[in-house]
């Protein structure tokens, strides 16, 4: 009896990795963990390298195994790529052209050559961070000039803010001052209210004798439990 396979099943079988039955020669194959130790990476990187085709593996009993020789070839290719990349990288030599990183300090020094301070220098003088320095700028306490993505400040403006901060009390002294101000405002408010009460005329209401002798005209005015 013969079984006819469909085209879809045949295509899946052709795309699937080859399955090899284990024998005496398969004992030298390595698992994913062992391959990761050989390559010096994680198991996820080993799976990625196999998926992109940089290393090849074979499936043995539903598990992926790697040939040590194949891993050695991958290591040699990686080392060769690193060596070629290092050779292509420009190195600074005597009399060679300067790189943009080397020109950055000169650009910064030329920017601040006219006596201006950068954000980092202003933050160091004020004893704060650059993020809190932005808070001063947003509040209008520190005025500076923005050139591109950089802020520059004059020394006079930074010194003025430094003196203002030195005059401001902080910590427990600030709390005590706030409490004293609140008590002083409460006393002033009480004194003003007492003065207004003393100056305001009091209404004089006197009940006449005729009204005192009036009988209760409505049952709602009659007290509960009393008879008239």
131 pLDDT higher than 80 = yes
How far is residue 116's CA from residue 161's CA, in Å, rounded to a whole number? 15
pTM (2 d.p.)? 0.30
Q: Is 222 left (phi over 0), alpha (psi -120 to 50) or beta?
A: beta
> Where exactly are the structural domains of the chain?
15-82, 107-167
More confident site: 5 or 119: 119
Residue 142 and residue 161 in contact, taking contact as beta carbons nearer than 8 Å: yes
Q: Residues 29-70: pLDDT tens digits?
A: 888 888 888 888 888 888 888 888 888 888 888 788 888 888
Question: Which architecture characterizes domain 15-82 according to CATH?
Answer: Orthogonal Bundle (1.10)
CATH 1.10.1660.10 correct for 107-167:
yes
Q: What integer pLDDT is reported at residue 22 of this predicted model?
A: 47
Q: Confidence class of residue 186 from pLDDT cuts 50, 70 and 90?
A: very high
More confident site: 226 or 58: 58
Picking from 28, 25, 13, the residue whose alpha carbon sits closest to that of residue 65 is 28
User: Hey, what long-range contacts does 43-50 have (CB within 8 A, 24 or more apart)?
Assistant: 49/74
93 pLDDT higher than 70 = no
């Amino acid at each position: 009896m013969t079984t006819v396979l469909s085209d879809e099943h045949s295509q899946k079988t052709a795309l699937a990795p080859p399955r090899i039955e284990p024998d005496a020669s398969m004992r030298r194959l390595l698992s994913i963990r062992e391959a990761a130790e050989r390559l010096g990476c994680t198991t996820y990187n080993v799976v990625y390298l196999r998926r992109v085709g940089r290393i090849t593996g074979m499936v043995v009993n539903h598990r992926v195994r790697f040939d040590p020789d194949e891993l050695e070839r991958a290591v040699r290719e990686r080392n060769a790529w690193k060596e070629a990349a290092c050779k292509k990288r420009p190195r600074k030599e005597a009399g060679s052209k300067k790189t943009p990183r080397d020109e950055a300090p000169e650009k910064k020094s030329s920017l601040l050559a006219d006596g201006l301070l950068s954000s980092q220098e202003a933050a160091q003088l004020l004893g704060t961070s650059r993020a809190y320095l932005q808070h001063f700028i947003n509040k209008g306490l520190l005025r500076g000039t923005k050139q591109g993505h950089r802020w520059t400040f004059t020394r006079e403006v930074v010194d003025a803010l430094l003196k203002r901060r030195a005059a401001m009390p902080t910590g427990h002294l600030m709390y005590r001052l706030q409490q004293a101000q609140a008590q002083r405002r409460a006393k002033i408010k009480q004194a003003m209210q007492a003065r207004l009460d003393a100056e305001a005329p009091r209404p004089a209401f006197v009940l006449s004798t005729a009204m005192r002798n009036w009988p209760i005209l409505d049952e709602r005015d009659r007290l509960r439990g009393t008879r008239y």
